[in-house]
Chains A and B, each alone.
Chain A
Amino acid sequence: GAGVSQTPSNKVTEKGKYVELRCDPISGHTALYWYRQSLGQGPEFLIYFQGTGAADDSGLPNDRFFAVRPEGSVSTLKIQRTERGDSAMYLCASSLWSGKAYNEQFFGPGTRLTVL
């Protein structure tokens, strides 16, 4: 079946604008994760959904960042009043379940966000 997909693949915006990044997980995966990767670094956890609810949003850097998953499938990461420091690769992953030894997270190709 299809893997995790993310749109757009690239997004260039101006400082202060609002952006939405979309993630379509593997069908049947109940857990969905967002990570952010700055250049030359490993990814950092942002938020995790189990079904429709955000089970852990402790990684969101501030209140300009928000994510939803209203029907337990597609998720949207929303960033308000973008800043140049928000420029990064935004990665989405999904898994069948969470918190178990055999949980494998499958990653999408990422969205490269550039804030000018």
Chain B
Amino acid sequence: KQEVTQIPAALSVPEGENLVLNCSFTDSAIYNLQWFRQDPGKGLTSLLLIQSSQREQTSGRLNASLDKSSGRSTLYIAASQPGDSATYLCAVDSNYQLIWGAGTKLIIKP
């Protein structure tokens, strides 16, 4: 059974720092991995999707990597801003259903 873990559960850093969020999964047989952002009480915003054959994807200040063999993905945020404060969730697509981590709550201090 696929399980997804995100570490750390919460992270607080000063504005301007680069940071890395981690996601690990137990079964490497995945179709893709998605990173999402969720603001308090709101729905999900898709940030990046990495296909199983890809190693990384970039969008602006965000870079996500995928190492299927080791069951790991990282989300790198460059030059963090207070507006980046949110919960970040990773989800793996294991044959049409997404299996989710519990998220990392990120606070960027001005």
Contact = CB atoms under 8 A, between A and B. Distances in A.
Interface of A: 31, 33, 35, 40-45, 48, 55-56, 59, 89, 91, 93, 98-110, 112
Contacts of B97: 33, 45, 48, 56, 59
Contacts of A104: 32, 34, 46, 49
B101 A42 contact: yes
**Is chain B's interface secondary structure helix, strand, loop, or mixed overall?**
strand
A94 to B, nearest CB: 12
Interface in B63-82: none
Given A48-B96, A99-B31, A103-B31, 9 more contacts: A42-B102, A42-B103, A45-B98, A55-B96, A98-B95, A103-B93, A104-B32, A106-B46, A107-B36
B61 interface: no
A98 B91 CA distance: 15
A42 B96 contact: no
B51 interface: yes
Contact of B96 (A43, A98, A106): A98
Contact of B32 (A35, A103, A107): A103
Contacts of B41: 112
Interface string B83-108: 00000010101011111111100000
Contact of A42 (B32, B51, B89, B95): B89
B32 A43 contact: no
Given A91-B44, A99-B31, A103-B31, A42 B91 contact: yes
B110 interface: no
Nearest to B4: A42
Q: Chain A CB within 10 Å — which of B46, B98, B102 has the most?
A: B98
A92 to B, nearest CB: 10
Nearest to B50: A101
A99 B100 contact: no
B43 to A, nearest CB: 4
A109 B89 contact: no
Contacts of B4: 42
Contacts of B53: 101
